[in-house]
């Protein structure tokens, strides 16, 4: 299976005034995990970055933009994103948990939606950004599901259901996903190295930055190419996890917010 055959490589060209750009992913925000939410809130209020890029799975689940229209956790997230977007540009790329984030939510929060993949041009460097799930080629069952739910027809049918029904369906899908993770016979799929190299070469970039796998590391792909994996966030874990990647003229630096 080929990774998103011939994807279009969109570009985000940073203006000269940008000194630093922060990248985060896989916070999996949910009302039951307040420690992580509060860490994210504190970060948004204090970061000195000139721009923020969220590479997917900001939310544990997103069942439609209308979820933020009523008081509750989603509305709190909207308020925080609105305030952050007043201070700096905030960009959002869909993940496998929040692929239903739509234009209405983005407009409400002041976010700019990014295509997956997108090349960030900053200080003369080209950084290839992706959530990363489309490159996990060995996870064929998930990729089939991904192809189905990313179609306009599937999304229109799902979003036409009542909100509470959508929430119930999302909980059922999450339960199936967690059960699968606990299955000792299940194989863990990582980003395919050959596919990552192909993307980088076609995009004219030397580094791919992604999330999704929850295994922060830097992988040498050879020929001057590398793959930088972002950390997920879980402040209640032992040890707690809350990390970002800061891009500047000096390169890429991990920052631990614990």
**What pLDDT, on the 0 to 100 scale, is given for residue 115?**
97
pTM as predicted: 0.94
Mean pLDDT of 194-199: 97
Number of neighbours of residue 210 by Cβ within 10 angstroms: 28
3-state secondary structure of 176: helix
Amino acid 135: pLDDT: 97
- Whether residue 73 has pLDDT greater than 90: yes
User: Coil, strand, or helix at residue 197?
Assistant: helix
HSE on the CB side for 228, CA within 13 Å? 21
Residue whose C-alpha is closest to residue 107's, from 136, 84, 78, 131:
78
The per-residue pLDDT for 161 is 97
Check: CB of residue 174 under 8 Å from CB of residue 61.
yes
Is the model's pLDDT at 54 over the cut of 90? yes
Instruction: Determine the pLDDT at residue 185.
Output: 58
Average pLDDT over residues 178-182: 67
| pLDDT at residue 258, rounded to an integer | 81
Residue 95 near residue 63 (C-beta atoms within 8 A): no
Question: Would the pLDDT of 5 be above 60?
Answer: no
CA–CA dist 217, 156 (Å, integer): 37
The confidence score (pLDDT) of residue 186 equals 62
In angstroms, what CA-CA distances link 39 with 61, 115, 258?
A: 19, 27, 8
**What pLDDT does residue 1 have?**
45
Mean pLDDT in residue range 108-127: 98
């Amino acid at each position: 299976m080929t990774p998103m055959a011939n994807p279009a490589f969109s570009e985000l060209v940073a203006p000269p005034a940008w000194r630093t750009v922060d990248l985060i992913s896989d916070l999996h925000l949910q009302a039951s995990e307040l420690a992580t939410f509060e860490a994210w809130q504190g970060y948004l209020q204090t970061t000195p970055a000139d721009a923020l890029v969220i590479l997917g799975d900001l939310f544990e689940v997103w069942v439609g933009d209308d979820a933020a229209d009523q008081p509750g956790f989603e509305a709190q997230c909207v308020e925080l994103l609105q305030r952050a977007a007043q201070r700096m540009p905030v960009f959002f790329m869909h993940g496998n948990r929040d692929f239903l984030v739509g234009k209405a939510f983005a407009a409400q929060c002041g976010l700019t939606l990014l295509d997956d993949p997108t090349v960030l041009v900053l200080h003369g460097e080209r950084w290839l950004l992706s959530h990363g799930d489309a490159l996990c080629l060995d996870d064929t069952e998930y990729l089939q599901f991904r192809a189905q739910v990313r179609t306009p027809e599937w999304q229109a049918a799902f979003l036409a259901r009542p909100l509470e029904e959508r929430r119930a369906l999302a909980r059922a899908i999450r339960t199936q996903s967690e059960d699968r993770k606990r299955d000792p016979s299940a194989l863990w799929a990582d980003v395919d190295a050959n596919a990552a190299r192909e993307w980088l070469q076609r995009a004219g970039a030397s580094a791919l930055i992604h999330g999704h796998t929850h295994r922060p590391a830097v992988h040498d792909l050879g020929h001057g190419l590398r793959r930088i994996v972002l950390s997920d966030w879980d402040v209640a874990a032992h040890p707690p996890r809350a990390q970002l990647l800061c891009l500047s003229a000096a390169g890429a630096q991990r920052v631990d917010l614990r």
